[in-house]
Structure 1
């Protein structure tokens, strides 16, 4: 019994480390635009948050991937400057791009659920692409409604324009999603982080 307790405790510790690691990677990925400020299109920063959120779900599984993304969001809302452009605090909820931050949680969860059930390389790539699509759908719709109802829409702004702003970063995120799927599949075979259910 004591051995079982020690094993469970060790698993929880490793679990915490992995979640903290991916939350940290998202913090770093969020602020790549401070190094390359030209990576802002239509007011939307092109970051690596989506890549690390998707990777969290693929590598850690649905629960822990979602936890890692939730930790990232809560740390930012608590005031730490971990969102894009080193922003943070509760006021970030009113930023039009906050929907992308929320979407990371669901994206990681769905990606994790898919690979927990299907273990092939194709399923990892498919899960990553589905997660990236979730990120775009939730984030873009949130941005549209934010501009329409409280953020002050630019002149001539429309739903089509909101999606047009997403076109420049989309190829990058599709490529990174495919890479995340391939990388996570190979990494999972070595580390076996996702528990067998």
Structure 2
């Protein structure tokens, strides 16, 4: 087991279906591969986006939920930390064509920071088997989806007021950074709450066939 693997006593997540290598070095290499695969998933879904204001509606949150649930809390958080750092290093993996260190001045950067604890929370619920039943998965995934707003909305207000120079009010921030995302967020959480339990059903079905 490596530092990124789920803690002792936690239930398996989807990534744990893969047989763990016997040596610590190989186990670490596998965890690193899973973390980078998570980066790729979020980067791909980030390109599914459209702007309705200073913060775009994207597929990133869906990717964050899926990566956290599939990899578990620690690997999920490591994956989204890597995603943020690689984007700041200049890789074009954020929504839109802009990347690099200057992205910290983007109104949407706070949401990217919030993706890290969001993935951890999605993984935390998954490690307690909430991802195996659609209703419980939906509750856990909605909880995880809220977290980026706790970081992103205050950060957006700060950037708009002090960098962009916009007039900022509670109503304008709610209109730009919260209200347009409620329904899409619920839809993405619901989709993930169907997809992940379906993946577990497939795993159990294949496992039964292997035993027969």
TM range (shorter): 0.7 to 0.9
Q: Give the SS at the match of 2:93.
A: coil
Q: Distance in 1 between matches of 2:44 and 2:33?
A: 17
Q: Deviations over 1:62-101 (max 9, x none)?
A: 0011111111101001111211212111111111110010
Using the TM superposition, name which of 162-171 and 19-28 deviates more.
162-171
> What corresponds to 2:171 in structure 1?
160
1:9 shift after superposition: 4.4
Q: Distance in 2 between matches of 1:109 and 1:188?
A: 20
Residue 145 of structure 1, aligned match among 148, 158, 162: 158
Alignment check: 8 A CA contact 1:115 1:123 kept: no
Q: Give the SS at the match of 1:87.
A: coil
Residue 85 of structure 1, aligned match among 96, 115, 139: 96
- 1:134 pairs with 2:157: no
> What corresponds to 2:31 in structure 1?
15
Alignment check: 8 A CA contact 2:41 2:67 kept: no
Q: Give the SS at the match of 2:92.
A: coil
Structure 1 unaligned spans of 5+:
34-38, 193-197
Seen in structure 2, the aligned counterparts of structure 1 residues 43 and 174 have a Cα distance that, compared at 3 Å, is same
Q: Distance in 2 between matches of 1:127 and 1:57?
A: 11
Using the TM superposition, name which of 183-192 and 63-72 deviates more.
183-192
Alignment check: 8 A CA contact 2:51 2:57 kept: yes
Seen in structure 2, the aligned counterparts of structure 1 residues 147 and 188 have a Cα distance that, compared at 3 Å, is same
Alignment check: 8 A CA contact 1:99 1:138 kept: yes
Alignment check: 8 A CA contact 1:144 1:159 kept: no
Residue 41 of structure 1, aligned match among 48, 52, 70: 52
TM-score (norm 2): 0.77
1:5 shift after superposition: 6.7
> What corresponds to 2:187 in structure 1?
175
Alignment check: 8 A CA contact 2:54 2:107 kept: no
TM-score (norm 1): 0.82
Q: Distance in 1 between matches of 2:93 and 2:186?
A: 24
Structure 2 unaligned spans of 5+:
1-19, 205-212
Seen in structure 2, the aligned counterparts of structure 1 residues 151 and 116 have a Cα distance that, compared at 3 Å, is same
| Structural RMSD (CA) | 2.2
Q: Deviations over 1:35-74 (max 9, x none)?
A: xxxx211222111111101111111110011111111101
1:129 shift after superposition: 0.3
